Amino acid sequence: MMRAWAVAAVVAAALTATPALAIDWGREARWLCGEVEGEAPSPARIAAVLARHRGELERGWRRWRAGFGDGLTAWAAKNLVFDAGDIVLYPFSGPDFVTIHRLYPRASRYVMIAGQDAGKPPELSKRAAGPLSEYLAAVRLEFNRFSWNGYFRTSELNEAETDDKGLRGIAPVLLLFARGEGYEVVDVYPIRIDAAGTDLERAPDGEPWRSLRVELKRRDDGARVILDYCSFGLADPQVRARNGMKTWLYALPPPRTVLKAASHLLQTEVFTVVAKALIERSKSIVQDESGLDYLALTKAFDVRLFGRFGVAERSFSELKLEALEKAYKTGRAKVERMTARFGYQKGGGACVQLAWQRKQR
């Protein structure tokens, strides 16, 4: 198990080994949020575009915080345990940094895994007013969808990635979320699994920006934080084909894992490698019904049930999650109230399972 000092060393190495910045990523993140105080962007039309963008984003933020974020913060403070040096792992995440940040706001490292390429964030400060306005509208489209639903739909992210007027990668949403959650963006660069398969390293110049690292600084206390976004396929053939992938999964320090709106993939026979790694390695797991199989979870973890569960979300209505349904019905006295919206929104409301390895407490 990697101890707290070793996790801190990973963060420190990332923050000290970075060459001189060619791009002011902090400034680009501020432009993504429409924050340009003290810069007096010229011409005036650009300033107007940014001001309008910021106002529309703030409406989305208010909607998300009231519908999801504030509830997650309160629930996490009451129910989740976090030890110094823990990392947070979020497979099937899309660019949803805000959820894991609300659950574990003081982590020093977050690792997200999804299928979309990160892409190199755009240099918005070099764009004319027309292209700038068009791009910011694409950013708001994805953000507003998320602020209503509380999760990203894979099909919509894939469309945004390939559409000429779309984001061309999810990196801008990551920067937007980090800035909105109280961080300064220090640096951004592409990463890959190292040759030994034991960690992530900076990719050489010229490699595509599929996965990336965002170096952050918390504004409230100045703490340095690493956000790693990994564009990795997690199906068994993809894990076995990628050099070092399985080794890397097991080399990560035992994480606090989060699974939300994961399309029930880990309950199939195609994602067994990742499912096994999560069960064997995770210190704890927060998931909705779409994550790991409930029976497999109970064999390795103590599990608390929150909310309600009757049937799967309508996109997966053919699934019969009988063990989970029985647990909610027969253990009604042990099911705790869920005070936040989490995962797919169904007629029965949120369903959350909080699991931790036995003998931890």
Report the pLDDT value the prediction gives residue 318, as an integer from 0 to 100.
78
Q: How far apart are CA 253 and CA 86, in angstroms?
A: 8
Report the pLDDT value the prediction gives residue 8, as an integer from 0 to 100.
54
DSSP 3-state of 246? helix
H or E element, residue 278? helix 272-281
Percentage of residues in the chain having pLDDT higher than 90 = 68
Residue 153 CA neighbour count, 13 Å, CB half? 13
H or E element, residue 245? helix 245-251
Report pLDDT digits (tens) over 47-86: 899 999 999 999 999 999 999 999 999 999 999 999 888 9
DSSP 3-state of 22? coil
Phi, psi (deg, nearest 5) at residue 226: -110, 130
DSSP 3-state of 96? coil
Report the pLDDT value the prediction gives residue 243, as an integer from 0 to 100.
83
Report pLDDT digits (tens) over 129-150: 999 999 999 999 999 999 998 8
Is residue 80 within 8 Å of residue 101, measured between CB atoms?
A: no
Is residue 139 within 8 Å of residue 173, measured between CB atoms?
A: yes
pTM score: 0.90
Neighbouring C-beta atoms of residue 26, cutoff 10 Å = 19
DSSP 3-state of 113? strand
Pairing of strands 211-218, 224-231: antiparallel
